[in-house]
Amino acid sequence: MAKSKKRIIAGIVSVSAVAALGLLATPGPVWAEETGGDWRSTYDTVMIWVNFAILAFVIYKFGKDPILDFLRLRKEDLAYEIGVLESQKEKVTARIEETRQAITESDIRYAELKERILRQGERRKQDIIDEAKAQSRIMIESTKDKVGSQIQQAKRRFKEEMVDAAIDRALERLPRVITDEDNEKLLDQYMASATAK
């Protein structure tokens, strides 16, 4: 890069020197005094063309290589800069593509995650419903068992109370209805049945 800058500076200096020499050597209307005569305008025109030819030759001879070098270097610099920009563009394009890919993958992962969460939610909901049904069956069975047990206890108590009430009534009535003879007969029957066994 430092060599290319030196060549560019050398080319510019060479072209500037040739242009300055050509300007000093040009006998144009600015440098010459008009002092009458026809030959002077013809001479001036011829000298302008001669000076132009000399200037063109000097520029061609001494300035061609520096100017071409300058243009080549400028072309190479521009090609290098374009290459750098193309490389940066490719990197940015690659990053954009990676970002798009990541966004697409993220969307896919989000959809999968959402679907999985919904499935888990449905499964959990069904598990809760099944668990509640099982608990309600257990509670109903337990309640039935408790109610059945309470009914059995109530029946037993009722029977006991009925037996007690019947015995009380019988004890109340029997002494009035059964006589001493009836008692002796019953005692004899009982004794006979006991001895028969």
Mean pLDDT rounded to a whole number for the chain:
80
Whether 15 and 70 have beta carbons less than 8 Å apart is answered as no
Q: Minimal CA–CA distance to 71: which of 33, 31, 15, 128?
A: 15
Residue 45 has pLDDT above 70, yes or no: yes
Identify whether 138 is part of a domain. no
Identify whether 96 is part of a domain. yes
Q: What letter represents residue 55's amino acid?
A: L
Number of domains in the chain: 1
Whether 34 and 86 have beta carbons less than 8 Å apart is answered as no
| Dist. CA 116–CA 62, nearest whole Å | 80
Identify whether 185 is part of a domain. no
Identify whether 49 is part of a domain. yes
Give 121-167 pLDDT, tens digit per residue: 889 888 998 888 888 888 888 888 888 888 888 888 888 888 778 77
Identify whether 104 is part of a domain. yes
Give 64-104 pLDDT, tens digit per residue: 888 888 888 888 889 999 999 999 999 999 999 999 999 99
Identify whether 82 is part of a domain. yes
The domain containing residue 36 runs over which residues?
Answer: 2-125
| Dist. CA 183–CA 167, nearest whole Å | 17
Q: In degrees to the nearest 10, what's the CA dihedral of 92, 98, 103, 108?
A: 160
pTM here is: 0.36
| Dist. CA 14–CA 4, nearest whole Å | 15
Kindly report the length of the chain: 197
Identify whether 50 is part of a domain. yes
Residue 10 has pLDDT above 70, yes or no: no
Cα angle value 83/87/88 (rounded, 5°): 120
Residue 36 has pLDDT above 70, yes or no: no
Count of C-beta atoms within a 10 Å radius of residue 186? 11
Whether 4 and 76 have beta carbons less than 8 Å apart is answered as yes
What are the distances in angstroms from CA 21 to CA 33, 48, 65, 70, 105?
21, 14, 18, 21, 71
Identify whether 30 is part of a domain. yes
